[in-house]
Amino acid sequence: MTAPLASVLFVCIHNAGRSQMAAGFLTHLAGDRVEVRSAGSMPGDQVNPSAVAAMAELGIDISDQKPKILTTEAVQASDYVITMGCGDACPYFPGKTYLDWKLDDPAGQGVEAVRPIRDEIKGLIEGLIAEIDTKARSGDNS
């Protein structure tokens, strides 16, 4: 087993919708090539049922995930830190790649409202995988 090409941490406020969908897509599309984490600055009690349902429509099961608290250790252990509406809650460490994805919050929304957010996340994840693969091919392991 080779080491993952990169480690990615997805962060949103409740770690119940956007970050869980992003983690689900990255795990599904990149497999074990990328280490995936997600966390929230104020984690909710459960993953948003509409997010679970929207992902299930694409054959991705995130129903077993639980919201987790954001820790400094999780940020330090990640190459990419991708925030989704948590603002300045994330600690900053030099040498990490920070991305802020502007996504609507699916909290309290039905599955109809969550689908476009899910689809936008999928596109962002596909771009992220391409970037990680490009860096790995060029030998840039920084």
Question: For residue 114, which amino acid is it?
Answer: V
What's 89's DSSP letter? G
Provide the pLDDT for residue 93: 82
User: Catalytic positions, please?
Assistant: 12, 86, 90
What's 92's DSSP letter? -
Q: Enter the pTM of the model.
A: 0.92
Long-range CB contacts for residues 124-129, cutoff 8 Å, separation at least 24: 124/22, 125/22, 125/25, 125/26, 125/29, 126/29, 128/8, 128/26, 128/80, 128/82, 128/99, 129/26, 129/29, 129/30, 129/34
Q: Which ranges of the chain have pLDDT less than 50? A: none
Cα angle 50-51-54, degrees, rounded to a multiple of 5: 85
- Which tens digits make up the pLDDT trace of 80-111? 999 997 666 667 788 899 999 999 989 899 99
Phi, psi of 80 (to 5 degrees): -120, 135
Provide the pLDDT for residue 67: 97
